[in-house]
């Protein structure tokens, strides 16, 4: 087994050294990487909204929940694989680390094939079930179909990124995302502004850029001198490893999909208020995506930190790192929320052009932004549980709070009160509930104990 203090190019061993510095050293390049990744969809939305108008913007915005519904499940599986590999890496188990990497990549390829067929064939039917207005249905269908024709790139990229993040390498995904994001923006302008190819070409630009980042990731993973080096002869599925990956990842994937399904229902309620509501709320969703980036990077850093340190049996260090990550993310998220609350008209106006669309977006921004600290707390506490192998806990809490309660509120109240403020307020209400539930669990339960027993480390 490898030495626990060794380090290969790009790796970050989080089982030693100053806790805050290690987490930030991992989270900072991850933040920059997520920032450029967010530029994929933001470039689509901004360029489509400014050059093609609010109707085309509505077509793109209405597909966001659907895309996350399909892809989120497999993203959760990749998250489970990252936990497994982080624990192998922390324990110095190079043999199983390499097997897990090959198992993950093979599974991702098969999942990508399934998603390509499913999404391309059933996109129109699903959009109709979402009550997508007839005036934007054709554009939405075209956008979603092109997106799913290239979904293999997204699935494979998430798998490759999961492998690198498990060993603490957040820098190389950053480099690849900078390149692919710039390529995405150039192609968006070329396809839409120069060649006038319509809204579907925005999805095509994203697909091409995504495959470019996959090619760069695979080039590195197939050349690096490390146990997780990818070899074509090693591709395949070892079932005991896959079972462990699924055990850790299935709850997250299932939660992602069901939460996204709930958001599809929420999107259906937004759609009922017309295309200006769709455009305004879609514009806010892009802004929230940027606001969410610090939360995303700290959740990934926390999961990797907890996984590596529990693998190395550093239990006190695990708890200290979890506490640092949660509190830091909450502080950053709330600062960003205050900025968005103040600057909402300017920010929404960068995406939407119509006065009515901007008004819808501003109303949603000023309802949700001051509660970002709760969103950060929920996601970071969930990340701690996932890193400890207790993925069922956040899955249960988020399914109940973000799905059952959220949908129940909308189902009971919106038929009685036809006002979009109900749709807006359902988010901070359910963030409060999930934070309270996860907080009680974090402080009242020894969440590290099951990992000790199951792994026998």
Radius of gyration of the chain (CA): 21
Q: Give the confidence band of 59 by pLDDT, cuts at 50, 70, 90.
A: low
pLDDT in tens, 308-337: 888 888 888 999 999 999 999 999 999 999
DSSP single-letter state for residue 336:
H
Q: Give the confidence band of 429 by pLDDT, cuts at 50, 70, 90.
A: very high
- Give residue 50's pLDDT: 66
For residue 258, pLDDT beyond 90: no
Q: Give the confidence band of 158 by pLDDT, cuts at 50, 70, 90.
A: confident
Query: In sequence order, which ranges of 236-274 are alpha helices (DSSP H)?
Result: 239-271
- Between 117 and 173, whose confidence is greater? 117
Mean pLDDT, residues 361-382 taken together: 93
| Total H helices, total E strands in the chain | 18, 0
- Give residue 78's pLDDT: 76
- Between 84 and 322, whose confidence is greater? 322
For residue 430, pLDDT beyond 80: yes
With a pLDDT cut of 90, the percent of the chain lying above it is 20
Contact 22, 330 (CB under 8 A): no
CB atoms closer than 10 angstroms to residue 83: 31
Averaging pLDDT over each range in 90-99, 183-192, 212-221, 280-289, which range is the top one?
212-221
For residue 5, pLDDT beyond 70: no
CA-based torsion, 360, 365, 371, 377: positive or negative: positive
Q: Give the confidence band of 456 by pLDDT, cuts at 50, 70, 90.
A: very low
- Give residue 43's pLDDT: 65
pLDDT in tens, 216-225: 999 999 988 8
At residue 351, the 3 state secondary structure works out as coil
């Amino acid at each position: 087994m490898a030495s626990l203090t060794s380090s290969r190019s790009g790796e970050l061993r989080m089982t030693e050294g100053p806790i805050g510095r290690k987490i930030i050293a991992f989270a900072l390049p991850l933040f920059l990487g997520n920032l450029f990744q967010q530029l994929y969809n933001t470039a689509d939305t901004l360029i489509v909204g400014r050059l093609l108008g609010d109707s085309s913007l509505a077509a793109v915005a209405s597909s966001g929940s659907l895309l996350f519904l399909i892809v989120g499940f497999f993203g959760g599986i990749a998250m489970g694989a990252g936990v497994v590999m982080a624990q192998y890496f922390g324990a110095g188990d190079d043999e199983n680390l390499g097997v897990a990497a090959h198992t993950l990549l093979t599974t991702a390829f098969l999942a990508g094939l399934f998603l390509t067929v499913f999404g391309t064939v059933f996109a129109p039917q699903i959009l109709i079930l979402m009550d997508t207005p007839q005036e934007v249905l054709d554009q939405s269908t075209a956008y979603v179909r092109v997106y799913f024709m290239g979904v293999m790139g997204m699935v494979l990229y998430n798998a490759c990124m999961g492998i690198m993040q498990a060993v603490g390498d957040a820098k190389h995904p950053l480099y690849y995302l900078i390149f692919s994001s710039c390529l995405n923006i150039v192609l968006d302008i070329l396809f839409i502004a120069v060649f006038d190819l319509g809204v579907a070409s925005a999805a095509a630009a994203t697909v091409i850029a995504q495959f470019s980042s996959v090619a760069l990731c695979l080039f590195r993973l197939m050349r690096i001198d490390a146990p997780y080096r990818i070899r074509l002869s090693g591709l395949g599925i070892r079932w005991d490893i896959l079972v462990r990956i699924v055990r850790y990842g299935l709850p997250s994937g299932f939660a992602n999909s069901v939460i996204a399904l709930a958001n599809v229902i929420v999107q259906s309620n937004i759609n009922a208020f017309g295309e200006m509501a769709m455009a305004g709320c879609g514009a806010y969703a892009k802004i929230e995506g940027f606001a969410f980036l610090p939360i995303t990077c700290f959740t990934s850093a926390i999961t990797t930190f907890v996984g590596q340190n529990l693998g190395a049996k550093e239990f006190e260090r695990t708890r200290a790192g979890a506490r640092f990550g949660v509190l830091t993310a909450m502080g950053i998220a709330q600062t960003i929320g205050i900025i968005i609350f103040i600057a909402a008209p300017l920010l929404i106006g960068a995406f939407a052009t119509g006065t009515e669309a901007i008004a819808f977006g501003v109303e949603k921004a000023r309802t949700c932004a001051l509660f970002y600290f709760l969103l950060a707390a929920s996601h970071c506490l969930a990340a701690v549980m996932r890193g400890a192998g207790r993925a069922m806990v956040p899955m249960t809490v988020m399914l109940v709070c973000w799905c059952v309660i959220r949908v129940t509120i909308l189902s009971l109240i919106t038929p009685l009160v036809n006002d979009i403020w109900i749709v807006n307020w359902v988010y901070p209400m359910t963030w409060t509930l999930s934070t309270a539930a996860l907080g009680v669990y974090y402080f009242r339960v020894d969440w590290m104990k099951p990992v000790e027993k199951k792994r026998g480390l």
